[in-house]
Every structure is written in structure tokens, then in C-alpha cells.
Amino acid sequence: MKKKSQTYKKFYTFAPQFFTYINHLNHIFMKLLLISNSTNYKEPYLSWCMPLLEEFLQKTAKKIVFIPYAGVDVGGKVYPESYDAYTERVQKVFKTFGKTIVSVHAAKDPVDLVNHADLIMVGGGNTFHLVAELHRNKLIEPIRRKVMEGTPYIGWSAGSNVACPTLCTTNDMPIVMPESFQCLDLVPFQINPHYIDPYPEEINDRIRHGGETRQVRLNEYLAVNQYKTVAGLREGTALWVENERITLRGTRNMIVLRYGKKPVEKKPGAEFGFDLK
Ligand code: ASP
């Protein structure tokens, strides 16, 4: 009897460590660049993050597989023609790096294309549409597996939100109904892209906006998901994830929100783990 209880004790002591270790192995090869926004106010498309993209893109990454599913209204073209317009737009930018982009929407077998990608890149737009299409094309698991095995991943905006467990911290409208809110779950926290602070009082006195601030909306998410953590990525910032280490890149702070806790600010260049501590 004594022996049995000792075995249980040992199990309960080592099990959490064991699962942490297994979880660690899961992320050991990951390389992600999670960008808040493609375009800074009054600046050209993807220009602010060009140096980051250049640094992140690997010389070996010949075949960049692009996921355009968030783009439902691009350059005057609407879904599904918007996918061509979106891919061309991104292709133009990546030509400067000598890279070609192949889009999943043009592939006969999107899963096969993802399985042979050197790098996976997910563009922004409407997150609900993106997630709906990822599920409809059965791409959630293949992308997740490929990235966990070490294929680099770049996402901006909605593309960064889908690297999280769910889409629940998007700013977008539910224009379609995805099969589920479940996303790629590459990082254990939620990202809110384009995080914006409340307007200063003198501005709000002028515009008299009485709706929820971003922080209020995210606190509502935390009220019913009390063990989750939210990273509010302000414009011009990105998370550089390598294995289990994360660095905040860009020029502004990131805000970390937790239920019942004071928000924490991280400075550009700050390094932290998957718990955002
Ligand atoms: N619509 C944003 C994007 O550009 C995503 C968001 O605001 O949640 O992808």
C-alpha cells in the first residue's frame, strides 16, 4: 500500500515536468514572424517591415507558399478574384527579395503544396474568412505540422492571429461562419493585431465615441477565458519567435493583458518565453 502511494506521488511530481518537456519538444524547431500590420499609416504596403522580412527570409526558402484566404476585397477585385489580386500584390513585394510566391488558391491540391513549402506565409484581411477557408480546405493540421517541423512561418495581421489557438481576439466582423474558431495553435497565447490605445481625452471629447475601447473588448474575452493571455501588438511591431524564445521587434511597446491583472508593457527588443513573462 505504501509502495503504491509512493508511486502516485512520484507520478504527480514528475508528470507536469514531463508534459512541459514534451510541449517544449513540440516547439523546438519553430521559426515564426508574427507581424501586427502590413501597412503603416500613409506608408507603402509592407514597407515598414521590409528589413524584418529580409532578415527572416531564409536563402534556402525557394518555394514560398502564400495563403490569400483573408483577402476578400483587394485592389477592386472581390472574392474569389481577390485571391489573384492579393497574390500579385504580394508577389511584387517579394520579387525584390528574389522570391517567387505560389498561392494555395491556385493549387489543385493545397495540402500537397503546403507539404512541400519552404516557407508558409499568411496575409491579412478578414480573419473569419481566412479561418473558414483554412478549415474548408483541410489546411489547419498540415500547416501546423509543417511549421512545428521547422518550416518558417510569416503572418501579418489576420495571419498572425491565426497562429494562435483561436480567432477570438480578432478585430474583424464575422462575415462568414467558419467550421470552428480553432486556429493553428502555434503559440499558446492570443494576439490582438493592430492594438490601439484609447483615444486621449481631448480627442474623444471631440469625436464623442461611446463604444468599447480595444482594451475593454479584450477584457471581455479574458472575463470568459480567464486562463488565457493576450498580446496586443501595436502598429509597427512584430513577434520574432525562434524555438521557445520570443523577441518583440519594431518601434513600439506591446501590451500584455491577463484576467484580473494590471496590463504589462514590453519594450521593443524585450525577450520572453511562451508565457509572455
Ligand atoms: N483585419 C485585420 C487584418 O488586416 C485583422 C484584425 O484586425 O483582426 O488582417
Segments in the chain forming alpha helices (H) = 2-26, 50-56, 82-95, 110-115, 127-136, 140-148, 158-161, 201-207, 214-224
Q: At what angle do helices 127-136 and 140-148 cross, to 10 degrees?
A: 90
Does the beta carbon of 172 lie inside 6 Å of ligand 1? Answer: yes
Query: Given this model, what pLDDT does residue 263 score?
Result: 98
Which atom of ligand 1 approaches the CA of 159 most closely?
A: 9
Query: Given this model, what pLDDT does residue 28 score?
Result: 72
Of 228, 85, 65, which Cα lies nearest the Cα of 147?
Answer: 65
Could you say which of 38, 129, 160, 172 is catalytic? 172
Best of 170, 173, 214, 237 for a ligand 1 pocket test (most atoms within 8 Å of beta carbon) = 170
CB–CB of 171/221 below 8 Å? no
Which atom of ligand 1 approaches the CA of 124 most closely?
A: 9
Could you say which of 38, 82, 157, 160 is catalytic? 157
Provide the whole-model pTM. 0.90
Which three cell numbers mark 271? 525577450
Does the beta carbon of 236 lie inside 6 Å of ligand 1? Answer: no
Catalytic site includes residue 194 = yes
Of 32, 35, 253, which Cα lies nearest the Cα of 160?
Answer: 35
Query: Given this model, what pLDDT does residue 34 score?
Result: 98
Which atom of ligand 1 approaches the CA of 157 most closely?
A: 9
Does the beta carbon of 127 lie inside 6 Å of ligand 1? Answer: yes
Does the beta carbon of 169 lie inside 6 Å of ligand 1? Answer: no
Which atom of ligand 1 approaches the CA of 125 most closely?
A: 9
Pairing of strands 77-78, 73-74: antiparallel
249: which strand partners?
238
Whose CA is closest to atom 6 on ligand 1? 171
242: which strand partners?
31, 245
Give the DSSP letter of residue 180.
-
Query: Given this model, what pLDDT does residue 91 score?
Result: 96
* Residues 209, 203: Cα–Cα separation, whole Å: 9
Local confidence pLDDT in tens for the 277 residues of the chain:
556 666 666 666 566 566 655 655 666 789 999 999 999 999 999 999 999 999 999 777 789 999 999 999 999 999 999 999 999 999 999 999 999 899 999 999 999 999 999 999 999 999 999 999 999 999 999 999 999 999 999 999 999 999 999 999 999 999 999 999 999 999 999 999 999 999 888 888 898 888 899 999 999 999 999 999 999 999 999 999 998 899 999 999 999 999 999 999 999 999 999 999 9
Query: Given this model, what pLDDT does residue 19 score?
Result: 61
CB–CB of 61/99 below 8 Å? yes
CA dihedral (258, 173, 133, 87) positive or negative: negative
Catalytic site includes residue 118 = no
Query: Given this model, what pLDDT does residue 219 score?
Result: 98
Q: Can you tell me whether residue 200 is helix, strand or coil?
A: coil
Q: What is the amino acid identity at position 141?
A: E
Distance, CA of 226 to chain centre: 20
Of 77, 169, 89, 164, which Cα lies nearest the Cα of 123?
Answer: 89
CA-based Rg of the chain, rounded to a whole angstrom? Answer: 20
Catalytic site includes residue 157 = yes
Longest dimension (CA), the chain: 74
CB–CB of 250/240 below 8 Å? no
CB–CB of 40/76 below 8 Å? no
Domains of the chain by range and CATH?
28-272 (3.40.50.880)
What's the 130 CA to ligand 1 centre distance in angstroms? Answer: 10
